[in-house]
Amino acid sequence: MHIFVGLGNPGSGYARNRHNVGFMAVDEIVRRHGFSSYRGKFHGEVAEGRLGGEKVLVLKPMTYMNNSGRAVQAAMTFYRVPPRDVVVFQDEIDLAAGKLRVKRGGGHGGHNGLRDIHAHIGSDYGRVRIGVGHPGDKDRVAGHVLKDFAKADDDWLSKMLDVIADNADRLIDGDDSGFMNAVALVMNPPRPNKPKPKPESKQQEEEND
């Protein structure tokens, strides 16, 4: 069994905040793959389904971002899931909007939700870091992540959530590189090569003269 954790803050007032993109990502996985309806459990909301032949529990902590670890630890303890089988979907200010990286282990990067999860379960879990951009000044970070996505963000955000949901089974298989490549191909598709002009034949050159 695996646990997918979406990070965010509960309540309609936070629903479109950049800080809630983790909630948005797991909601799309639940919708796309026909998971059960959410129900209250483990200090949060949970839905169950299958990905890649494996059972997956989706968890959205309802404890507010800074206390997310309590919910994650409760679910892990109940199902006896080790940290390596937990994947957390989070907002990441150190990545440009529309960029994504997968990370396993290591530090929390100052993210308050991850900081609390680290305190409860350690660092040996996966993170899907969804870029929301940096405001350019560290004093403006809190206001930036607690503001709604702009309407101009809707196009890339919709594509990002779609491709995350479409390829979520790769995270179960540990194919982090394949997952990131699939996202990159959708978010930054390669430019088509322009056909080179055919060289003129000797006869055409004489006619042009």
For β-strands 54-61 and 2-6, DSSP reports them as parallel
Q: Which of 88, 115, 107, 109 is nearest to 4 (CA)?
A: 88
Say how far apart CA 169 and CA 40 lie, in whole Å: 25
Say how far apart CA 24 and CA 7 lie, in whole Å: 9
Q: In a 10 Å sphere around its CB, with 0-12 CB exposed, 13-18 middle and 19+ buried, how is residue 128 labelled?
A: buried
Q: Which two tokens stand for residue 170?
A: 């790769």
Residue in the structure block whose two tokens are 């069994």: 1
The residues that are catalytic are 19
Residue pair 9/142 in contact (Cβ under 8 Å)? The answer is no
Tell me if residue 12 falls in helix, strand or coil.
helix
Phi, psi (5° rounding) for residue 196? -75, 140
Q: CB count, 10 Å around CB of 84? A: 13
